[in-house]
């Protein structure tokens, strides 16, 4: 009887360990209420990549950087009120073509948006979201309303005033100036449990 109990406990521990290992490399998880959790970066994205438009905040979702920050600062969604724009590094100098997105150098891919494009969507430099396959396509399909324009980051170059922007449909970084127009995609630094 004791041997049988030990085997049951061992089996339970092995299943638990297997589940933890499987989830460590999993990437994205759809949460209730329109949120997608990234277990690698420990952040949660709004599932709707143009929620500013969908919610009626803005006619088309294209806003200045100031408007995007005002929107995200006042956003209350899923019971959370500490949403922000995604982060990007502004030091492209060590990257191929001076771009985070077009580099195969993993030290260049420290932006949350670039991680989403390369790691979660499974794309490589020069590919578009239409070329996602397998798990990358499944991950891409977790999101809705991904726009065909740039998205504001929360990262500003204090020397030039430029803002880093990212185009998730082609995986390309660029800069825009605060008065320009780009989309805003809210991110939350939090684990959202299943409900």
Confidence of residue 136 (pLDDT cuts 50, 70, 90): confident
Distance of CA 76 to the CA centre of its chain: 18
Domain boundaries, the chain: 28-188
Are 36 and 47 in contact by the 8 Å Cβ rule? The answer is yes
Confidence of residue 5 (pLDDT cuts 50, 70, 90): very low
Q: Which residue has the higher pLDDT, 111 or 28?
A: 28
Q: Which residue has the higher pLDDT, 90 or 78?
A: 78
Quote the CA–CA distance of 59 and 67 in Å, as a whole number.
13
> Taking 80 as the threshold, does the pLDDT of residue 156 lie above it?
yes
Instruction: For 41-66, give the secondary structure using H, E and C.
Output: CCEEEECECCHHHHCCCCCCCCECHH
Confidence of residue 113 (pLDDT cuts 50, 70, 90): confident
Residue with tokens 């991950």: 139
For the segment 19-39, what is each residue's pLDDT rounded down to a tens digit? Answer: 333 333 458 999 888 999 999
Q: Which residue has the higher pLDDT, 159 or 149?
A: 149
* Arithmetic mean of pLDDT, 50-73: 97
Confidence of residue 160 (pLDDT cuts 50, 70, 90): confident
Half-sphere exposure of 83 (CA within 13 A, CB side): 24
Half-sphere exposure of 169 (CA within 13 A, CB side): 10
Question: Structure tokens of 14?
Answer: 């092995």
């Amino acid at each position: 009887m004791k041997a049988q109990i030990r085997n049951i406990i061992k089996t339970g521990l092995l299943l638990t360990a297997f589940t933890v290992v499987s989830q460590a490399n999993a990437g994205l998880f759809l949460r209730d209420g329109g949120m997608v959790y990234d277990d690698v970066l420990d952040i949660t994205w709004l599932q709707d990549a143009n929620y500013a438009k969908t919610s009626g905040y803005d006619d088309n979702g294209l806003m200045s950087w100031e408007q995007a920050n005002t929107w995200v600062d006042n956003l209350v969604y899923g019971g959370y009120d500490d949403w922000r724009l995604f982060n990007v590094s502004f030091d492209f100098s060590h990257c191929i073509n001076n771009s985070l997105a077009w580099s195969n150098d993993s030290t260049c891919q420290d932006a949350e948006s670039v991680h989403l494009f390369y790691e979660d969507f499974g794309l490589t430099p020069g590919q578009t979201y239409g070329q996602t396959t397998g798990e990358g396509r499944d991950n891409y399909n977790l999101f809705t309303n991904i726009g065909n324009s740039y998205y504001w980051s929360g990262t500003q170059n204090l020397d030039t005033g430029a803002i880093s922007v990212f185009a998730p449909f082609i995986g390309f970084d660029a800069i825009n100036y605060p008065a320009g127009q780009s989309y805003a995609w809210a991110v939350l630094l939090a684990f959202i449990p299943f409900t």
